[in-house]
Amino acid sequence: MSEGKCIILSAPSGAGKTTLVKHLLAEDLKLSFSISASTRKPRGKEKHGVDYYFLSPEEFKQKVEEGHFVEWEEVYTDHCYGTLKSEVDRIWADEKHLIFDVDVVGGLNLKKYFGDKALAIFVMPPDMASLESRLRSRGTDSEDRILQRLEKAKTELITADQFDHIILNDDLEKAKKEVKNVVKAFLAQ
């Protein structure tokens, strides 16, 4: 495989995309996680080069200016995230398909960039109350950040129909089965 395919999972924060990405990575689908660059600080046990390439704002800006990103965005105030071209090359050289965990704007930009090579999936939370309780029970964000994420979710939910496929993540086991079936069918095409 000189160039593989791309699986994009996007959703408002807390909808469950990271959970579903981890599930897909554990399956035998030849997927490799696209590690994004970010200017935010590592949380908990996160490691540079595993969860993100953690860059300073200056390093990030320089890579933007030098054209190293496929897409990048200030997802939250002062927190930039982006996909490096070198990451796409690394994974395809390793004969794997890329899997992305990105916000909805990034997801739609990646779909535009990769076209038919990409399957863009929107992970839909059952409702705003569930989204809020998932963000709180995850326990990774300050109150301030939770409120920012919920506010952003309202505009993100209305982009769902621009994606190739919507997965309702109410029952996690059902969502895991559905996402695996959809991805498997796309990779087999």
Using CB under 6 A, list all residues that contact ligand ADP. 11, 13-19, 134, 137-138, 169, 172, 175
The nearest distance, CB 72 to ligand ADP, in angstroms, is: 19
Residue closest to 36 by CA, chosen among 76, 77, 88: 88
Residues of this chain that bind ligand 5GP (CB under 6 A): 13, 36, 40, 71, 73, 75, 81-83, 101-103, 105-106
Q: Which does 82 bind (CB under 5 to 8 A by kind): ligand 5GP, ligand ADP, none?
A: ligand 5GP
Residue closest to 35 by CA, chosen among 95, 89, 115: 89
Residue whose CB is less far from ligand 5GP, 36 or 176: 36
Residue whose CB is less far from ligand 5GP, 83 or 169: 83
CA distance 64 to 60: 6
Buried b (16+ CB within 10 A) or exposed e, 152-168: bbeebbeebeebeeebe
The nearest distance, CB 137 to ligand ADP, in angstroms, is: 6
Residue closest to 154 by CA, chosen among 131, 170, 123, 134: 131
Residue whose CB is less far from ligand 5GP, 75 or 189: 75
Backbone angles phi, psi at 91, to 5 degrees: -75, -40
Q: Which does 40 bind (CB under 5 to 8 A by kind): ligand 5GP, ligand ADP, none?
A: ligand 5GP
